[in-house]
Amino acid sequence: MPEQISVAVIGAGMAGRSHAAAYRMAGSVSGPGLPQIRLAAIADANVALAEDGARRYGYEKALPSWEAVAEDPSIDAVSIVVGNALHRPIAEALVAAGKHVLCEKPLAGSMEDAQAMVALEKQGKVVTAVGYCYRRSPAIAAIRDHIRNNELGELTTLHARYWCDYACDARGPLSWRFKGGMGSGALGDIGAHIIDQGEYLCGPIASVSGGNVSIQIAKRPLPLGAVVGHGSAPVSSEMGEVENEDTATFTARFQSGLAATFSVSRTAFGMPNGLGFDIYGTGGRCSFDFHRPAEYEIDDAQPEARTRGLRRVIVGPQMPYFRNGYPMEAPGVGIGNQEQFNYQARAFLDQIAGVADPLPPNATFADGLRSMEIIEAVVQSSQNGGAEVAINPPASDAASASAGTATVPAPPA
Protein backbone atom coordinates (compact mmCIF):
# COMPACT_ATOMS: atom_id res chain seq x y z
CA MET A 1 0.00 0.00 0.00
CA PRO A 2 1.35 3.47 -0.87
CA GLU A 3 2.03 5.85 2.01
CA GLN A 4 0.13 8.62 0.22
CA ILE A 5 -2.16 9.06 -2.77
CA SER A 6 -2.08 12.46 -4.45
CA VAL A 7 -5.31 13.36 -6.25
CA ALA A 8 -6.33 16.00 -8.78
CA VAL A 9 -9.54 16.99 -10.52
CA ILE A 10 -9.64 18.20 -14.12
CA GLY A 11 -12.69 20.42 -14.46
CA ALA A 12 -13.85 22.88 -11.80
CA GLY A 13 -17.49 23.17 -12.78
CA MET A 14 -20.59 21.70 -11.19
CA ALA A 15 -19.66 17.99 -11.21
CA GLY A 16 -15.95 18.74 -10.85
CA ARG A 17 -16.60 20.35 -7.49
CA SER A 18 -18.51 17.27 -6.41
CA HIS A 19 -15.43 15.16 -7.19
CA ALA A 20 -13.17 17.64 -5.42
CA ALA A 21 -15.29 17.63 -2.28
CA ALA A 22 -15.53 13.82 -2.40
CA TYR A 23 -11.77 13.27 -2.25
CA ARG A 24 -11.65 15.57 0.73
CA MET A 25 -14.24 13.39 2.50
CA ALA A 26 -13.14 9.95 1.27
CA GLY A 27 -11.11 9.10 4.36
CA SER A 28 -14.11 9.80 6.59
CA VAL A 29 -16.37 7.15 5.06
CA SER A 30 -16.22 3.35 5.14
CA GLY A 31 -13.56 1.52 7.12
CA PRO A 32 -9.91 2.21 7.90
CA GLY A 33 -6.99 1.41 5.66
CA LEU A 34 -6.62 4.34 3.29
CA PRO A 35 -3.23 6.02 3.19
CA GLN A 36 -2.99 9.77 3.53
CA ILE A 37 -4.85 11.58 0.72
CA ARG A 38 -3.05 14.61 -0.66
CA LEU A 39 -5.36 17.12 -2.34
CA ALA A 40 -2.90 18.20 -5.01
CA ALA A 41 -4.60 20.29 -7.68
CA ILE A 42 -7.72 21.40 -9.49
CA ALA A 43 -7.27 22.24 -13.17
CA ASP A 44 -9.48 24.27 -15.48
CA ALA A 45 -8.95 26.54 -18.47
CA ASN A 46 -11.07 28.99 -16.49
CA VAL A 47 -8.31 29.71 -13.98
CA ALA A 48 -10.51 31.81 -11.70
CA LEU A 49 -12.90 28.86 -11.40
CA ALA A 50 -10.02 26.48 -10.65
CA GLU A 51 -8.65 28.85 -8.01
CA ASP A 52 -12.04 29.15 -6.35
CA GLY A 53 -12.43 25.36 -6.29
CA ALA A 54 -8.96 24.87 -4.83
CA ARG A 55 -9.72 27.41 -2.10
CA ARG A 56 -13.11 25.95 -1.26
CA TYR A 57 -12.00 22.33 -1.00
CA GLY A 58 -8.47 22.70 0.33
CA TYR A 59 -6.40 21.76 -2.70
CA GLU A 60 -2.80 22.92 -2.85
CA LYS A 61 -2.97 24.68 -6.16
CA ALA A 62 -4.98 25.57 -9.24
CA LEU A 63 -3.63 24.67 -12.68
CA PRO A 64 -4.57 26.24 -16.03
CA SER A 65 -4.76 23.05 -18.12
CA TRP A 66 -5.19 19.31 -18.00
CA GLU A 67 -1.73 18.96 -19.55
CA ALA A 68 -0.25 20.44 -16.37
CA VAL A 69 -1.84 17.63 -14.37
CA ALA A 70 -0.56 14.95 -16.75
CA GLU A 71 2.94 16.39 -16.56
CA ASP A 72 3.05 16.54 -12.75
CA PRO A 73 4.84 13.36 -11.56
CA SER A 74 3.63 13.84 -7.98
CA ILE A 75 -0.04 13.29 -8.89
CA ASP A 76 -1.26 9.67 -8.67
CA ALA A 77 -5.01 9.71 -9.37
CA VAL A 78 -7.22 12.04 -11.39
CA SER A 79 -10.91 12.67 -12.01
CA ILE A 80 -11.80 13.80 -15.54
CA VAL A 81 -14.84 16.07 -15.34
CA VAL A 82 -14.91 18.08 -18.58
CA GLY A 83 -16.69 18.03 -21.95
CA ASN A 84 -17.20 14.54 -23.37
CA ALA A 85 -15.03 15.07 -26.45
CA LEU A 86 -11.99 15.67 -24.24
CA HIS A 87 -12.26 12.45 -22.24
CA ARG A 88 -10.21 10.26 -24.59
CA PRO A 89 -7.15 12.51 -25.12
CA ILE A 90 -6.97 13.33 -21.42
CA ALA A 91 -7.36 9.69 -20.35
CA GLU A 92 -4.70 8.58 -22.82
CA ALA A 93 -2.24 11.17 -21.53
CA LEU A 94 -2.95 10.35 -17.89
CA VAL A 95 -2.63 6.59 -18.34
CA ALA A 96 0.60 7.08 -20.30
CA ALA A 97 1.87 9.06 -17.31
CA GLY A 98 0.96 6.18 -14.97
CA LYS A 99 -2.00 7.88 -13.30
CA HIS A 100 -5.22 6.23 -12.18
CA VAL A 101 -8.33 7.65 -13.87
CA LEU A 102 -11.93 8.18 -12.77
CA CYS A 103 -13.86 9.54 -15.76
CA GLU A 104 -17.30 11.12 -15.59
CA LYS A 105 -20.04 9.64 -17.72
CA PRO A 106 -20.72 9.36 -20.57
CA LEU A 107 -17.42 7.65 -21.19
CA ALA A 108 -16.57 9.61 -24.34
CA GLY A 109 -17.84 11.89 -27.08
CA SER A 110 -18.00 9.15 -29.72
CA MET A 111 -18.12 5.37 -29.99
CA GLU A 112 -14.66 5.36 -31.55
CA ASP A 113 -13.23 7.26 -28.58
CA ALA A 114 -15.03 5.01 -26.09
CA GLN A 115 -13.68 1.87 -27.76
CA ALA A 116 -10.18 3.32 -27.66
CA MET A 117 -10.57 4.02 -23.94
CA VAL A 118 -11.69 0.43 -23.31
CA ALA A 119 -8.61 -0.80 -25.19
CA LEU A 120 -6.58 1.45 -22.91
CA GLU A 121 -8.24 -0.09 -19.86
CA LYS A 122 -7.46 -3.62 -21.03
CA GLN A 123 -3.75 -2.84 -20.71
CA GLY A 124 -4.34 -3.02 -16.97
CA LYS A 125 -1.57 -0.62 -16.04
CA VAL A 126 -3.69 1.55 -13.75
CA VAL A 127 -7.12 1.65 -12.11
CA THR A 128 -9.76 3.02 -14.47
CA ALA A 129 -13.38 3.78 -13.60
CA VAL A 130 -16.51 5.61 -14.74
CA GLY A 131 -18.56 7.87 -12.48
CA TYR A 132 -22.03 6.35 -12.18
CA CYS A 133 -22.67 7.93 -8.80
CA TYR A 134 -26.28 6.73 -8.41
CA ARG A 135 -25.00 3.20 -7.84
CA ARG A 136 -23.93 4.54 -4.44
CA SER A 137 -27.39 5.64 -3.32
CA PRO A 138 -28.20 3.68 -0.13
CA ALA A 139 -31.87 3.45 -1.13
CA ILE A 140 -31.12 2.18 -4.65
CA ALA A 141 -28.55 -0.28 -3.29
CA ALA A 142 -31.16 -1.53 -0.80
CA ILE A 143 -33.67 -2.04 -3.61
CA ARG A 144 -31.04 -4.01 -5.49
CA ASP A 145 -30.67 -6.22 -2.41
CA HIS A 146 -34.44 -6.84 -2.41
CA ILE A 147 -34.20 -7.90 -6.06
CA ARG A 148 -31.13 -10.10 -5.60
CA ASN A 149 -32.72 -11.77 -2.57
CA ASN A 150 -35.79 -12.57 -4.72
CA GLU A 151 -38.06 -10.57 -2.40
CA LEU A 152 -39.97 -9.11 -5.35
CA GLY A 153 -40.38 -12.44 -7.10
CA GLU A 154 -39.75 -12.71 -10.82
CA LEU A 155 -39.36 -9.20 -12.25
CA THR A 156 -42.01 -8.28 -14.79
CA THR A 157 -41.99 -4.54 -15.48
CA LEU A 158 -39.65 -1.56 -15.07
CA HIS A 159 -40.57 2.08 -15.67
CA ALA A 160 -37.43 4.22 -15.49
CA ARG A 161 -37.11 7.96 -16.00
CA TYR A 162 -34.72 10.83 -15.65
CA TRP A 163 -36.51 14.13 -16.12
CA CYS A 164 -34.73 17.47 -15.69
CA ASP A 165 -35.59 21.08 -16.47
CA TYR A 166 -32.15 22.65 -16.94
CA ALA A 167 -32.78 23.20 -20.66
CA CYS A 168 -36.32 24.61 -20.44
CA ASP A 169 -35.25 28.23 -20.89
CA ALA A 170 -34.92 28.97 -24.62
CA ARG A 171 -32.62 31.86 -23.70
CA GLY A 172 -30.10 29.47 -22.15
CA PRO A 173 -26.70 29.59 -23.89
CA LEU A 174 -25.63 27.12 -26.56
CA SER A 175 -22.98 25.34 -24.45
CA TRP A 176 -21.09 22.16 -25.38
CA ARG A 177 -23.97 20.13 -23.94
CA PHE A 178 -26.08 21.02 -26.99
CA LYS A 179 -23.39 20.02 -29.50
CA GLY A 180 -22.77 16.60 -31.03
CA GLY A 181 -25.14 14.25 -32.83
CA MET A 182 -28.31 12.59 -31.61
CA GLY A 183 -27.59 10.49 -28.56
CA SER A 184 -25.15 12.96 -27.04
CA GLY A 185 -27.84 15.22 -25.58
CA ALA A 186 -30.29 14.16 -22.88
CA LEU A 187 -29.48 10.49 -23.56
CA GLY A 188 -25.75 10.95 -23.00
CA ASP A 189 -26.05 13.46 -20.18
CA ILE A 190 -28.74 11.93 -17.99
CA GLY A 191 -29.95 8.88 -19.92
CA ALA A 192 -26.60 7.17 -19.34
CA HIS A 193 -27.34 7.18 -15.62
CA ILE A 194 -30.79 5.61 -15.83
CA ILE A 195 -29.67 3.04 -18.43
CA ASP A 196 -26.86 2.03 -16.08
CA GLN A 197 -29.36 1.89 -13.23
CA GLY A 198 -31.64 -0.39 -15.25
CA GLU A 199 -28.87 -2.92 -15.77
CA TYR A 200 -27.49 -2.47 -12.26
CA LEU A 201 -30.87 -3.47 -10.85
CA CYS A 202 -32.30 -5.87 -13.41
CA GLY A 203 -29.53 -7.43 -15.48
CA PRO A 204 -28.52 -7.07 -19.14
CA ILE A 205 -30.72 -5.38 -21.74
CA ALA A 206 -31.17 -7.62 -24.77
CA SER A 207 -32.83 -5.16 -27.17
CA VAL A 208 -34.45 -1.75 -27.49
CA SER A 209 -37.34 -0.62 -29.66
CA GLY A 210 -39.73 2.27 -30.10
CA GLY A 211 -36.87 4.75 -30.02
CA ASN A 212 -38.02 8.36 -30.27
CA VAL A 213 -35.65 11.31 -29.93
CA SER A 214 -36.70 14.92 -30.35
CA ILE A 215 -35.56 18.52 -29.98
CA GLN A 216 -37.94 20.98 -28.36
CA ILE A 217 -35.74 24.10 -28.57
CA ALA A 218 -34.02 24.06 -31.94
CA LYS A 219 -31.91 27.21 -31.60
CA ARG A 220 -30.13 28.87 -28.71
CA PRO A 221 -28.13 32.09 -28.34
CA LEU A 222 -24.36 31.85 -28.49
CA PRO A 223 -22.63 32.51 -25.15
CA LEU A 224 -20.39 35.52 -24.68
CA GLY A 225 -18.54 34.00 -21.75
CA ALA A 226 -17.82 30.76 -19.97
CA VAL A 227 -20.78 28.51 -19.17
CA VAL A 228 -20.42 26.59 -15.91
CA GLY A 229 -22.51 23.45 -15.50
CA HIS A 230 -26.16 24.11 -16.26
CA GLY A 231 -25.79 27.77 -15.37
CA SER A 232 -26.58 30.87 -17.37
CA ALA A 233 -24.11 33.19 -19.07
CA PRO A 234 -24.19 36.41 -21.08
CA VAL A 235 -25.38 35.67 -24.60
CA SER A 236 -25.23 37.38 -27.98
CA SER A 237 -28.04 38.04 -30.41
CA GLU A 238 -26.59 35.40 -32.73
CA MET A 239 -28.31 32.03 -32.62
CA GLY A 240 -26.89 28.56 -33.14
CA GLU A 241 -28.43 25.19 -33.92
CA VAL A 242 -29.03 22.63 -31.20
CA GLU A 243 -27.51 19.39 -32.48
CA ASN A 244 -28.78 16.76 -30.06
CA GLU A 245 -31.95 15.61 -28.36
CA ASP A 246 -33.85 17.32 -25.57
CA THR A 247 -36.10 14.29 -24.99
CA ALA A 248 -35.91 10.56 -25.69
CA THR A 249 -38.17 7.60 -25.01
CA PHE A 250 -37.78 3.89 -25.74
CA THR A 251 -38.77 0.43 -24.59
CA ALA A 252 -36.37 -2.34 -23.68
CA ARG A 253 -36.42 -6.08 -23.33
CA PHE A 254 -34.01 -7.58 -20.80
CA GLN A 255 -32.34 -10.98 -21.16
CA SER A 256 -34.54 -12.20 -18.30
CA GLY A 257 -37.69 -11.32 -20.27
CA LEU A 258 -38.40 -8.20 -18.20
CA ALA A 259 -40.20 -5.48 -20.17
CA ALA A 260 -39.21 -1.86 -19.55
CA THR A 261 -39.90 1.69 -20.61
CA PHE A 262 -37.35 4.49 -20.36
CA SER A 263 -37.81 8.23 -20.77
CA VAL A 264 -35.33 11.07 -20.38
CA SER A 265 -35.73 14.80 -20.84
CA ARG A 266 -33.83 17.98 -20.11
CA THR A 267 -36.93 20.09 -20.86
CA ALA A 268 -39.31 18.69 -18.21
CA PHE A 269 -40.48 21.82 -16.41
CA GLY A 270 -40.47 21.65 -12.63
CA MET A 271 -38.19 18.60 -12.48
CA PRO A 272 -34.81 19.76 -11.17
CA ASN A 273 -33.32 16.27 -10.87
CA GLY A 274 -36.04 13.72 -11.49
CA LEU A 275 -34.30 10.36 -11.60
CA GLY A 276 -36.75 7.68 -10.56
CA PHE A 277 -38.12 4.24 -11.29
CA ASP A 278 -40.91 1.82 -10.47
CA ILE A 279 -40.11 -1.86 -10.60
CA TYR A 280 -42.66 -4.67 -10.37
CA GLY A 281 -42.36 -8.38 -9.83
CA THR A 282 -44.70 -11.30 -9.22
CA GLY A 283 -44.24 -10.90 -5.47
CA GLY A 284 -43.69 -7.21 -4.84
CA ARG A 285 -42.78 -3.78 -6.13
CA CYS A 286 -40.39 -0.93 -5.31
CA SER A 287 -40.33 2.76 -6.23
CA PHE A 288 -37.65 5.43 -5.91
CA ASP A 289 -37.58 9.17 -6.65
CA PHE A 290 -34.36 11.13 -6.20
CA HIS A 291 -36.30 14.23 -5.24
CA ARG A 292 -36.78 12.25 -1.99
CA PRO A 293 -33.37 10.52 -1.87
CA ALA A 294 -33.53 9.37 1.76
CA GLU A 295 -36.42 6.96 1.24
CA TYR A 296 -38.02 4.40 -1.05
CA GLU A 297 -41.34 2.59 -1.24
CA ILE A 298 -41.94 -1.14 -1.19
CA ASP A 299 -44.93 -3.48 -1.24
CA ASP A 300 -44.19 -7.19 -0.95
CA ALA A 301 -45.95 -10.42 -0.08
CA GLN A 302 -46.09 -10.18 3.71
CA PRO A 303 -47.31 -13.34 5.47
CA GLU A 304 -49.99 -11.47 7.41
CA ALA A 305 -52.71 -9.88 5.27
CA ARG A 306 -53.04 -6.91 7.63
CA THR A 307 -49.44 -5.87 6.91
CA ARG A 308 -49.87 -5.88 3.14
CA GLY A 309 -49.70 -2.58 1.29
CA LEU A 310 -47.32 0.09 0.13
CA ARG A 311 -44.99 1.34 2.84
CA ARG A 312 -42.23 3.93 2.99
CA VAL A 313 -38.75 2.87 4.14
CA ILE A 314 -36.50 5.62 5.55
CA VAL A 315 -32.80 5.35 4.73
CA GLY A 316 -30.64 4.57 7.75
CA PRO A 317 -27.82 2.42 9.09
CA GLN A 318 -29.54 -0.76 7.89
CA MET A 319 -28.83 0.31 4.28
CA PRO A 320 -25.69 -0.27 2.19
CA TYR A 321 -23.16 2.59 2.40
CA PHE A 322 -24.98 4.45 5.20
CA ARG A 323 -23.43 2.60 8.14
CA ASN A 324 -19.89 3.85 8.69
CA GLY A 325 -20.44 6.22 5.77
CA TYR A 326 -22.54 9.02 7.24
CA PRO A 327 -21.53 11.25 10.17
CA MET A 328 -24.81 10.81 12.07
CA GLU A 329 -25.66 7.12 11.79
CA ALA A 330 -29.35 7.44 12.57
CA PRO A 331 -32.48 6.91 10.47
CA GLY A 332 -34.23 9.95 9.11
CA VAL A 333 -31.33 12.40 9.18
CA GLY A 334 -31.33 12.64 5.38
CA ILE A 335 -28.89 11.92 2.60
CA GLY A 336 -28.24 13.57 -0.73
CA ASN A 337 -26.21 13.74 -3.90
CA GLN A 338 -22.79 14.54 -2.47
CA GLU A 339 -22.63 11.42 -0.33
CA GLN A 340 -22.82 9.33 -3.49
CA PHE A 341 -19.71 11.07 -4.82
CA ASN A 342 -17.98 10.49 -1.47
CA TYR A 343 -18.61 6.73 -1.63
CA GLN A 344 -17.59 6.67 -5.30
CA ALA A 345 -14.27 8.42 -4.53
CA ARG A 346 -13.63 6.08 -1.62
CA ALA A 347 -14.21 3.01 -3.81
CA PHE A 348 -11.78 4.41 -6.40
CA LEU A 349 -9.11 5.05 -3.76
CA ASP A 350 -9.74 1.63 -2.17
CA GLN A 351 -8.87 0.00 -5.50
CA ILE A 352 -5.73 2.06 -5.87
CA ALA A 353 -4.55 1.43 -2.32
CA GLY A 354 -5.50 -2.25 -2.17
CA VAL A 355 -7.62 -1.82 0.94
CA ALA A 356 -8.35 -5.14 2.65
CA ASP A 357 -12.11 -4.57 3.00
CA PRO A 358 -12.95 -2.24 0.10
CA LEU A 359 -16.23 -0.79 -1.04
CA PRO A 360 -17.55 -2.48 -4.21
CA PRO A 361 -15.55 -1.25 -7.20
CA ASN A 362 -16.83 1.45 -9.54
CA ALA A 363 -18.09 0.87 -13.05
CA THR A 364 -15.35 0.27 -15.59
CA PHE A 365 -14.61 1.87 -18.96
CA ALA A 366 -16.16 -1.29 -20.46
CA ASP A 367 -19.37 -0.56 -18.54
CA GLY A 368 -19.31 3.01 -19.86
CA LEU A 369 -18.97 1.72 -23.42
CA ARG A 370 -21.93 -0.61 -22.88
CA SER A 371 -24.18 2.29 -21.88
CA MET A 372 -23.09 4.13 -25.02
CA GLU A 373 -23.86 1.06 -27.16
CA ILE A 374 -27.40 1.01 -25.75
CA ILE A 375 -27.77 4.74 -26.44
CA GLU A 376 -26.57 4.21 -30.00
CA ALA A 377 -29.17 1.45 -30.42
CA VAL A 378 -31.91 3.83 -29.23
CA VAL A 379 -30.86 6.36 -31.86
CA GLN A 380 -30.79 3.63 -34.53
CA SER A 381 -34.29 2.56 -33.50
CA SER A 382 -35.50 6.14 -33.80
CA GLN A 383 -33.98 6.51 -37.25
CA ASN A 384 -35.70 3.30 -38.40
CA GLY A 385 -39.25 4.00 -37.34
CA GLY A 386 -38.92 2.50 -33.88
CA ALA A 387 -37.59 -0.85 -35.10
CA GLU A 388 -36.14 -3.30 -32.59
CA VAL A 389 -32.35 -3.18 -32.28
CA ALA A 390 -30.51 -6.04 -30.59
CA ILE A 391 -27.88 -5.35 -27.92
CA ASN A 392 -24.85 -7.59 -27.71
CA PRO A 393 -24.45 -9.44 -24.38
CA PRO A 394 -21.90 -8.02 -21.92
CA ALA A 395 -18.36 -8.71 -23.03
CA SER A 396 -17.61 -11.08 -20.15
CA ASP A 397 -19.02 -12.44 -16.93
CA ALA A 398 -16.58 -10.19 -15.07
CA ALA A 399 -17.79 -7.08 -16.84
CA SER A 400 -21.37 -8.14 -16.23
CA ALA A 401 -20.79 -8.54 -12.50
CA SER A 402 -19.04 -5.17 -12.34
CA ALA A 403 -22.06 -3.55 -13.92
CA GLY A 404 -24.42 -5.38 -11.61
CA THR A 405 -25.81 -7.30 -14.56
CA ALA A 406 -25.53 -10.93 -13.46
CA THR A 407 -28.57 -12.96 -14.52
CA VAL A 408 -28.60 -14.95 -11.27
CA PRO A 409 -28.66 -13.62 -7.69
CA ALA A 410 -25.29 -12.17 -6.73
CA PRO A 411 -23.86 -10.76 -3.49
CA PRO A 412 -25.15 -7.25 -2.73
CA ALA A 413 -22.96 -4.38 -3.91
Give the CATH number, domain containing residue 190.
Answer: 3.30.360.10
- pTM of the shown model: 0.92
The verdict on 144 and 197 lying in the same domain is yes
328, part of any domain: yes
The verdict on 104 and 21 lying in the same domain is yes
Pairing of the two strands 235-241 and 219-223: antiparallel
Last residue of a domain, one of 80, 115, 134: 134
The verdict on 127 and 157 lying in the same domain is no
CB 208 within 8 A of CB 375: no
173, part of any domain: yes
Q: What is the pLDDT of residues 222-252, one digit of tens each?
A: 998 777 777 777 889 999 999 999 999 999 9
d(CA 87, CA 408): 34
The verdict on 119 and 144 lying in the same domain is no
What backbone phi and psi angles, to 5 degrees, belong to 237? -85, -10
pLDDT for position 228: 76
Per-residue pLDDT of the chain (413 residues; tens, 9 = 90+): 789 999 999 999 999 999 999 999 999 999 888 999 999 999 999 999 999 999 999 999 999 999 999 999 999 999 999 999 999 999 999 999 999 999 999 999 999 999 999 999 999 899 999 999 999 999 999 999 999 999 999 999 999 999 999 999 999 999 989 999 999 999 999 999 999 999 999 999 999 999 999 999 999 999 987 777 777 778 899 999 999 999 999 999 999 999 999 999 999 999 999 999 999 999 999 999 999 999 999 998 766 656 678 899 999 998 999 988 888 888 888 888 999 999 999 999 999 999 999 999 999 999 999 999 999 999 999 999 999 999 999 876 443 334 333 222 333 34
The verdict on 261 and 206 lying in the same domain is yes
The verdict on 283 and 202 lying in the same domain is yes
Last residue of a domain, one of 100, 134, 168: 134
pLDDT for position 224: 85
Total domains, the chain? 2
pLDDT for position 304: 65
245, part of any domain: yes
Pairing of the two strands 100-104 and 77-80: parallel
CB 403 within 8 A of CB 363: yes
The verdict on 75 and 64 lying in the same domain is yes
391, part of any domain: yes
The verdict on 220 and 366 lying in the same domain is yes
pLDDT for position 394: 87
pLDDT for position 305: 58
Which domain, by its residues, includes 291?
137-336+362-402
Q: Where would I find the H helices in 107-174?
A: 111-122, 138-148
The verdict on 145 and 119 lying in the same domain is no
187, part of any domain: yes
pLDDT for position 400: 38
The verdict on 150 and 66 lying in the same domain is no
Q: Where are the beta strands (DSSP E) in 44-106?
A: 61-63, 77-80, 100-104
The verdict on 270 and 162 lying in the same domain is yes
346, part of any domain: no
Q: What is the pLDDT of residues 320-370, one digit of tens each?
A: 999 888 888 888 888 889 999 999 999 999 999 999 999 999 999 999 999
Residues written for the chain: 413
345, part of any domain: no
List the CATH number of the domain containing 14: 3.40.50.720
The verdict on 378 and 240 lying in the same domain is yes
389, part of any domain: yes
